[in-house]
Amino acid sequence: MCGRFTYKFSWQEFHDRLKVFVNGLDYIGEGVENHPPRFNIAPTQPIIVISQVNGRHKASLMRWGLVPNWVKDPSKFALIINARMETILEKPSFRGSVRHHRCLIPASGYYEWCAGTDGKKQPFYITGQDGKPIVFAGVFSNWMGPDGEEVDTTAIITMPSSPDLKKIHNRMPAIIPEEMMADWLNVARVNERDAMAMLRAAPSGTYRIHPVSTRVNSNRNEGEDLAQPITLHEPVTDHATRKKSGQQELF
């Protein structure tokens, strides 16, 4: 599951790294270069998305929460922020997007919640050990309303957690290895089944995990301090134990 994440890099920092793997960008949309660092990005907010359209690599802002192009009234359609990799090829909401509209979503880390022994939800921050940007696999859709209005929307693909993250949650965002980014975007050359085969759990030791303040629970709070580690006074119950004991899933 991925319901909240961070983006602490400047656009230039991310662009300089990305261009090595996807041969640069032909188009940079309004608002991308000046996108500020964010430490509590929530669904429905605009996020930076990298896509390939008609052979051109694009960076643009899209709304987090996918609306398939066949939806008539988005206000009556459930908010879709994640797409499970196991079912994405069969679900009507994603079939067209995973075939024609795959994308990359840059981040510096993400939050996940785990139940403590007292039943309260404790947030944890998960980021790469090397401190470099991480890039989620995503899909997007261009929705056009009856009056001609257009809205680009996106969802993050999720997969079973890597071994060292299962104690927090059994699912995680699918993170694209750098050497596969260009192929993931290339919908003309790489079909959807081959693309999905690129999504594999990273080995143990890839990520850093630490508890953070429950201030992150509210998307009204923002700031770098939200991702800083805190000391826990109560232990948490790992995900496998919660399942065996019948505790309810957080997501």
| Among candidate residues 94, 161, 96, the one with its CA nearest the CA of residue 126 | 161
> Residue 236 gets which letter from DSSP?
B
Residue of 30, 33, 112, 179 marked catalytic: 112
Handedness of CA 217, 223, 224, 225 (dihedral sign): negative
Helix, strand, coil share (%) of the chain residues, nearest 5: 20, 35, 45
Residues whose CB is less than 8 angstroms from the CB of residue 140 and which lie 6 or more positions away in sequence, other chains included: 49, 51, 62, 66, 97, 101, 102, 103, 152, 153, 154, 155
The rounded distance, in Å, linking the Cα atoms of 71 and 193 is: 25
Amino acid 74 reads P
Amino acid 89 reads L
The two structure tokens encoding residue 222: 């923002």
Whether residue 114 lies in the annotated active site? no
Amino acid 165 reads L
Whether residue 103 lies in the annotated active site? no
CB-CB neighbours of 21 under 10 Å: 18
Give me the phi and psi of 95, to 5 degrees please: -55, -50
Residue of 2, 103, 114, 192 marked catalytic: 2
Beta bridge partners of 96: none
Give the residue numbers annotated as catalytic, written as ranges. 2, 112
